[in-house]
Every structure is written in C-alpha cells, then in structure tokens.
Chain A
Amino acid sequence: MSLYVDIKKDFGSFKLNVKFETEGGVTSILGASGTGKSMTLKCIAGIEKPDSGIIVLNGRTLFDSSKKINLPPQKRHVGYMFQNYALFPNMTVRQNIMCGMHNQGKEVDKESKLLAIAKKLKIDHLLKHRPHQISGGQAQRVALARILVNDPEIILLDEPFSALDEHLRNRLQIEMKENLNEFNKEALLVTHNRDEAYVLSNETVILSEGDSLMQGKTKEIFIKPIYLETAIITGCKNFAPCIKVDDHTIDIPDWGVKFHIDEVVNEDINYVGLRAHEFEVNEKENKNNIKVLEVIEQPFEIQVRFKYENQIDDSEELLWTLKKDSKPFVSPKHLGIKSNHILLLKK
C-alpha cells in the first residue's frame, strides 16, 4: 500500500511544491493554515488539477502531466472526508451512505452492508435522520461510513476534527484511529493541530509555505524537528538565532546566554528552540539568571513569561509552563534546561 505524490501548482502569489511517499498506516501532513494542505488533498482526489507532476496510488497512475494522464475523481478510488463532512443535506443518513454503494451489486447486499457498518459506527439509530438533525461527531461517523462502504484504496482526511467541540475532539481522534485500524485503511490526514498528528499518524510530512519541508516518523519529528519551521509547528514556543562557538557550545546573542550541548554541534545549526515545559528550577545544566515578567494562572498549569538577565531589550520574552501543584508558585531567580532538551535547528 503506497501513495507517491510529486506535484507543483502555481497560484501566482503562492506556489505549491509537494513531494512525499506514504507506506501504509496513517500519514499526516502538518502545516500552518494557508500552506496548501487542503489543496494537496484536492489534487490527489482529482478535484483540483496540478500544473505538473505525478501521483501514483498502489502502482496505479492517477495523474501524470508528462503522459497527459488525469483520471477523473470518480475513477481514482480515493475517499475524501471534508472539513464540514459534506453530507448531502437533501438526503437521509441512510441515503447518504447508500450513495457510497450506488454501483455495487444487489440491493439485499447493500442493505446488509449498510446495517453492518451503521451498527459498527454506532449510527444505526440515525438512519432516518437528515444531516442537520445530527451532531458534529455523528456527522463525522456518517461521512466515514459513506466513505468506507465505497471501499476506497486510501482515505483523505481534511482537518476532520476542526469543526468539533474541544471536549469531543480527543475522543473522536482515538475513535478514528481505531476505525481506520479496524477497517485496515490507509489514510492521509491534513491538519494544523500537532496533537492530532501525534495521536493519529505514524508518519508525518511537514508543509511550509507550499513546500514539503521534511518527512519522517511522527514521534522522531517531535523529538528532533531539525528545522525551525518544524519546531514551531510541533509547538515549540521559544526560539532565537544562535551561533556555534565550539563543538559543544552555542551562543544566543538575543538572549545573552551560552548553552552547553553534549553532542557535537553541526556547522549548519543557526537557530535554537526550547520547549516551554522543559525548563527546571533545580536543573544545574545551562542554568541562567532570569527576570520574571508575568505569571498567568491557567486551570491546570502556570505560564511564566520571563527574560534572561542579559537578554537584549527588543528581543521577545520566553515562555515557561509548569503543572500546578498544591504549593503556591514562587518566582525563581534562575532556570536551567537539560542539554538534550535543547533543539538545534536550521532555518
């Protein structure tokens, strides 16, 4: 099971230039809003046409500009779940799901397939309802059922959780993961939410301003983002330009500090990133004096905005987050961070 994509599309002010390959399981495309994520999915589904390039699904060419191949969406066997689920409003849930089986065999078989999937996805009590009568989570399951009965080779998920309430999101992410596993479906997930990518996918492609910046195992990308863009998108809050001093030391002029790094620092490193939750009061490594500027109390954590003692004035303050405990918070005079928690980045 594999999908190979290498496409270019010019929108004038914005150029899409995406290249990646999936190897089964769930792959996520992670990128900020407006980086061409949805456009990439639409090109794969055949809804939009790239200017040039090639798309191959399980050895079947869906699009090849040099050979003038451009299969219509109807012949691509690609399932597409839209952000708003795109259930047909004039049809009942039953009719919506039936649309996914319009060209398959006998009515009896369709009926039993419909009932089986509806039961599996817990929507069997909703078959007579219309899309506007069901909740967002239910609509997502109906959309998934409609796609699954169509038996596509890959399912494209376009920000599938963004229309849902916060408290539902996490549960439905897990549910989606289980369903994709259960039906043994390969999926390509587009999202700007790092948690979604982390929970659902084993591979991640990072998209930055229309370019596919890097691809790798999802967990590794979070541990070693390599690029500044990747660090930002995976949720790193503190970053600044840095200069390599020697093999184990970097200088960060903006913050007025030098950090010791255990591993050998590469020549092309020019940015440093520190995740907000990695600072420790009692850590001896890379300990520096700080000035606390603001303490914001959140329901379950405390956010501290601070500057290093010798930080230059117009540089941005840093963010430190820590879990709340029973003890009252006392602003520390200094903060340390372990060498292996310092992200060495390229811009």
Chain B
Amino acid sequence: MNLFPLWNSLRIALIATVIIFFLGVFLAYLVKKCPKVLKGIIDVVLTLPLVLPPTVCGYLLILVFGPNHPVGAFLQTMGIQFFMDWKGGILASVMVAFPLMYRTTRGAFESFDENLASAGKTLGLSNFYIFWRIRMPACKNGIIAGLVLAFARALGEYGATSMLIGYNQYRTATISTTVAYAWNNNDTQTALVWVLINLFISAIVLVLINIFENNNKKGAKL
C-alpha cells in the first residue's frame, strides 16, 4: 500500500501549523494594537477564509500562484512552484486554517491583563521578554487551542488543496484527496482504509485536546 498520502498530509499540516503559529500570533498582536476602524477592516480580511467555500480560496490561490499569473510565473523562474506541487498544499492549508488560529489568539490577547505587561516594563524587563515570557504564557491556553484547531483543519483540508495541487498519488496526494479519488474510481476498499486512518488520527487529536484541558482544570484548582 502506498503510504505517501499519510506522510504528505502530516508534513503539510505540520509545516502549515508552524507558519500559522507565527503568522497568527504576530497578526493578532498587531491587530489588537490597531485603532478601531483599521482593526475592523483587517479583522474582516483575515477572517474571510473562514466563511468562504474552500474551493473559492483555492481559486484565489490559483489566481496568484498559478503558472500563468505574475507571482506564480516569477516564483517559477526562481525554481519555486506551488501549483500542482505538494508545497501548494501548505499554502492552501495556511489560508483556510489561519483564521481559526488568528481569532482564538486575538481573543486570548484581548483578555490579557495589560497591567502585567506594564508591571514588567516598570521593572525594566525588555519588551521581547515581556512578550515571550509573560504575555505568551498567560495566553497559553487560547493559543494552544487555536493551534490544535488549525492543525486539525489543515489535516482535513480538501477543497482549496485539490484545486491548487490536484491529485498525483506519488507527488501531491493527501489523505482527503485520496479518499475522494478512490471513491470516484470505485475503489471503495482503498477509500475505506484511508477513512479509517483519518478517523484514527482525528480521534488521537481529540484525546490530546481532552488530556490537555483536564490538566488545565487541575492546574486551576490548585
């Protein structure tokens, strides 16, 4: 059995989650400090992929990164290709899963007690230290929840991914595109195997979330 889709799905989801982490934390922090009107506009733009059909997201990505479009063509001359390449899956996953991370992180940042940051400043702590050692740990729960959601979403991404990178069982296939391809070709046996694999991974993710939440509850009770 060709296990490439499993490996490809995992690497796409993991790399996308890392990118989403930094992008989400950075933008959530930036937006929180913006004046109100600007905040509203940026918020809409960053959240839009959450409500758009994934196929629309995929189409938008093709418009930018497709080979016949300026950015895609330029990148191709540099030897970087996203269209019909597994790396495109990262783009699609980042775009679709990013709003989940962004919104939960922004919520966590907004409930952060700014007095903690101010106290750190008056004690002479650097802004870098305050951000990574005080603000981030205090918002840990929200950020981790956002990351888990984003990872789960990235792992299950189908619409945008199939638009941008298609299906090639040795180069671009993911678990979800494999299920669709197998089903379309009356290979119900293969489709069922991959459905079971997907169920297994999702169950593990949920169990991890529960363990994490229970640990938190214990911590809060002390």
Contacts and interface: CB of A to CB of B under 8 A. Distances in A.
A86 B124 contact: no
B123 interface: yes
B64 interface: no
Nearest to A45: B122
Contacts of B113: 84, 86
A90 B120 CA distance: 13
B138 to A, nearest CB: 6
A133 B134 CA distance: 18
Contacts of B122: 45-47, 73-74, 76, 78-80, 152
B70 to A, nearest CB: 43
Contacts of B129: 102
Contacts of A84: 113, 115
Classify chain B: how many residues form its interface, as a range.
10 to 19
Interface in A1-57: 42, 45-47
A45 B124 contact: no
30 contacts: A42-B118, A45-B121, A73-B118, A73-B122, A74-B122, A74-B124, A74-B126, A76-B122, A78-B122, A80-B119, A83-B115, A86-B113, A86-B118, A86-B119, A88-B119, A88-B120, A88-B134, A89-B138, A90-B137, A99-B120, A99-B123, A102-B124, A102-B125, A102-B129, A103-B124, A130-B222, A146-B123, A147-B123, A150-B123, A152-B122
Nearest to A129: B222
B111 to A, nearest CB: 13
A74 B125 contact: yes
Contacts of A103: 124
Contacts of B116: 86, 88-89
B109 to A, nearest CB: 15
Contacts of B119: 80, 82, 86, 88
Interface in B114-167: 115-116, 118-126, 129, 133-134, 137-138, 140
Contacts of A82: 115, 118-119
Nearest to B119: A86
Interface in B84-121: 113, 115-116, 118-121
Contacts of A42: 118
Contact of B121 (A47, A88, A100): A47
B163 to A, nearest CB: 42
A99 B124 CA distance: 9
Contacts, number: 65
A150 B124 CA distance: 8
A80 B125 CA distance: 13
B222 A133 contact: yes
Given A88-B116, A90-B134, 6 more contacts: A73-B122, A86-B119, A88-B120, A90-B137, A100-B123, A130-B222
Contacts of A235: none
Nearest to B221: A132
A100 B129 CA distance: 13
B138 A45 contact: no
Interface in A69-105: 72-76, 78-80, 82-84, 86, 88-90, 99-100, 102-103
Contacts of B222: 130, 132-133
A158 to B, nearest CB: 9
Contacts of A150: 123-124
A45 B115 contact: no
Contacts of A88: 116, 119-120, 134, 138
A133 B222 CA distance: 7
Contacts of A100: 123
A45 B119 CA distance: 10
In the A-B complex, the 9 residue pairs with the smallest Cβ-Cβ separation, listed nearest first, are A90-B137, A73-B121, A86-B119, A86-B115, A80-B122, A47-B118, A82-B115, A74-B124, A73-B122
Contact of A90 (B115, B126, B138): B138
Contacts of B134: 88, 90
B93 to A, nearest CB: 30
Contacts of B121: 45-47, 72-74
Contacts of A147: 123
Could you say which of A45, A47, A103, A152 has the most chain B C-beta atoms within 10 Å of its C-beta? A47
A281 to B, nearest CB: 50
